[in-house]
Amino acid sequence: MYGLGGLTPAMLLVTFFLSSSLLTRWKAARKKAVQRRFEKGGRRDRSQVLANGGWTALFSLGLWLSGEACWLAGITGALAAATADTWATELGVLAKKPPRLVTSGRIVPPGTSGGVTMLGILASAAGGLSIGLPAAALSGNGRLLIAGLGAGIGGSLVDSLLGATLQAVYACPVCGIETEQHPQHVCGGPTRLVRGLRWVSNDAVNALAGLLGGLLGIAVGHIL
């Protein structure tokens, strides 16, 4: 990343991975029960890394080839969206009040795709700022602060909307729990699709939200 985009994108990527890893480990015992519902736990595999960092790599290539500042805004936006979503997920599950589905307001169990809490929303804003602030400071471009905040909140919101509408959610007939695990739940029971599209995984949702975050960053860079 440093070889393509220089110091600023490299530092932003380090900020994303370091903060995400620390938050994943924070109060991990309390999150373990919720993670049993998820397709994946706290460890990030290749598909998760690609979903969260793929757009950043492409925007960095654009910055290296053209030198245009808009690509740095895209990098900031994509990483802000990924960071905001991670912070919202890792902190939102610790909220005292149960999450509500972003589309209907219905109360859902913690960890449900598309569920939001006030703590999670605030965490997404903080996650966006955690990328926007160093981006602005390292580049000397104050617009990147706004790009990071806007892309963080916007990307996280889109992630929740896609999670509530298009993301594949399965149900286990044995224990009656909705999950992202397929074809088998952790209890051993077979899972069946109850809503969403089978090919839209959590990684696909993250990738789409990251792309939108990058485009929002570029738009802010052009408008302001």
Q: What is the pLDDT of residues 72-103, one digit of tens each?
A: 999 999 999 999 999 999 999 899 999 999 99
Q: Specify the DSSP element, H or E, that contains 81.
A: helix 69-92
Nearest to 143 by CA among 223, 57, 210, 87: 223
Q: How far apart are CA 217 and CA 55, in angstroms?
A: 12
- The residue among 190 and 117 whose pLDDT is bigger is 117
Residue 1 in this model has a pLDDT that exceeds 70 = no
Q: Which of 63-77, 121-135, 175-189 has the lowest mean pLDDT?
A: 175-189
Mean pLDDT, to the nearest integer, of 204-224? Answer: 90
- 173 in any annotated domain: no
Tokens of 102: 């972003």
The residue ranking higher by pLDDT, 99 or 45, is 99
Determine what percent of the chain is predicted with pLDDT higher than 70. 90
Is a pLDDT exceeding 70 seen at residue 14?
yes
Residue 192 counted as domain residue: no
pLDDT (tens digit per residue) in 112-151:
889 999 999 999 999 999 999 999 999 999 999 999 999 9
Do residues 44 and 62 make contact, with C-beta atoms less than 8 angstroms apart?
Answer: no
With respect to residue 14, please indicate whether it lies within any of the assigned structural domains. Answer: yes
Q: Bridge partners of 178?
A: 171
In a domain, 22, yes or no: yes
Answer yes or no: is 185 within a domain.
no
* 127 lies in some domain: yes
Q: How many domains does the chain have?
A: 1
User: What is the per-residue pLDDT for 45?
Assistant: 56
pLDDT value at residue 175: 80
Q: Which domain, by its residues, includes 25?
A: 2-167+199-223
Residue 102 · residue 157 · CB < 8 Å: yes
Dihedral, CA of residue 130, residue 133, residue 136 and residue 138, to nearest 10: -80
Decide if 147 is inside a domain. Answer: yes
Q: Is residue 52 part of a domain?
A: yes
pLDDT-derived band at 2, boundaries 50, 70, 90: very low
